[in-house]
Amino acid sequence: MVSANRLSWAALVLALGISVSGCSIEKMAVDNMLPLLRKTNDDFNRTTVVAYAQQAGPGLIALINGLVYGSPENAELRLLQAELNFSYAFAFLEIENPPWAIEMYQRSQMAALIALEQEDEDLAAGLESSTFNVVEALSEHCDECTTPKEGAWPTPCPDAGDDFDALPALFWWAFARGAEINLRRGEPGEVATLPRVEAVMQWVLRHDPGYFNAGPHLFFGMRYLSLPASLGGEPEKGLKHFREVNRITKDKNLLVKLLEAQFYAPTLAAAPAGASIKDVLAAQNRAWEAFYGGLTAILEAPADLWPEQAVFNALAKSRAKALLADPEANNVIPPEGAENPHRSGGGGGGDWGGTGDDDDDDGWGD
């Protein structure tokens, strides 16, 4: 006869085997879904109906957020999670629902850090520590980088030769963290962490300035244009980064053109203290021409300009109408007699992600 102890051990081993097998099957199933999830994301980006994207996005994101528990260390799945959470928050939530946007930016950062752990655990653990020397840690992965001359873009950094493939994770962490800081910049200590975030994105810019449709340049363009001078805002520097996005994407990114009209055009209206009425009016005219001209160019762009990113271009078109509906809300004053067929008596919002009158049933801000 088999002893009771031996039966107990056999039962325990069998139970453990079933448990491990179950986990393995679950992980395998999730990992095998990754190609399909990428195709689903690609299909989502190709829609031209903003209402569909706004309403379907949370469901897709919830699916990804749940699936990662089946294969939590899958770096590619985590990067997809980081991308989707960031993109939806940036497009739809920053003004409409800031707390929700912050939550999604934080989830994006978490996903990026988990992906980064697969390449460098110490770096992933140290990024959020104020005592961690980010520049020194990243310099280990690119010894030949040099500081560019004033006014020049950094040349791409040579490969470090150590199979360090953390750039996507670093990009999404920095972009999401920067967006969170922007929304929480009134809180003590938030802006003080921005230099560490910028150091990470500078590293990404050095290695691959065209990553994710010139995402590093988009980051710095927004950073220098959307923040006030007291927090390091520099409109001309931001404009240079936006110009690089246009060059790299071959002028297909309508979103960056929208951001340029929204954030750069109003700076052209500034006139020095003591300026004459003539000079003040000339500055207002320059701002209006940049604002109106940039936004109408977006509206006139073909719908199939960038099929791979159609949803964001459709979003830019809808938002351009909302901004044109009420230029004054965006600190742009139309010159006397200027025609603006897009003006609405109800007024349009002046903030990214806000609502505005829009004759098209595209769902923006619904």
Q: What is the CA radius of gyration of the chain?
A: 24
Q: How confident is the model at residue 138 (pLDDT cuts 50, 70, 90)?
A: confident
What is the SS3 assignment for 356?
A: strand
Q: How confident is the model at residue 157 (pLDDT cuts 50, 70, 90)?
A: low
Site of tokens 């297909």: 252
Average confidence (pLDDT) over 209-233: 92
Q: What pLDDT was estimated at residue 364?
A: 27
296-305 contacts: CB < 8 A, separation 24 or more? 296/320, 296/324, 297/257, 298/254, 298/257, 298/258, 298/261, 299/342, 301/254, 303/48, 305/252, 305/254
**Cα–Cα distance measured from residue 176 to residue 113, given in angstroms and rounded to the nearest whole number:** 11
**Cα–Cα distance measured from residue 325 to residue 313, given in angstroms and rounded to the nearest whole number:** 19
How confident is the model over 191-211, as pLDDT tens digits?
Answer: 889 999 999 999 999 999 999
Q: Which of 210, 224, 214 is nearest to 178 (CA)?
A: 224
Q: How far from 344 is each of 299, 308, 324, 336, 351, CA to CA, in Å?
A: 16, 32, 8, 17, 16
| Main-chain dihedrals φ then ψ at residue 348, nearest 5 degrees | -110, 160
Top-confidence residue, 356 or 291? 291
Checking if the pLDDT of 11 tops 90, the result is no
What one-letter code names the amino acid at 71?
S
Please count the other Cβ atoms lying within 10 Å of the Cβ belonging to residue 349: 21
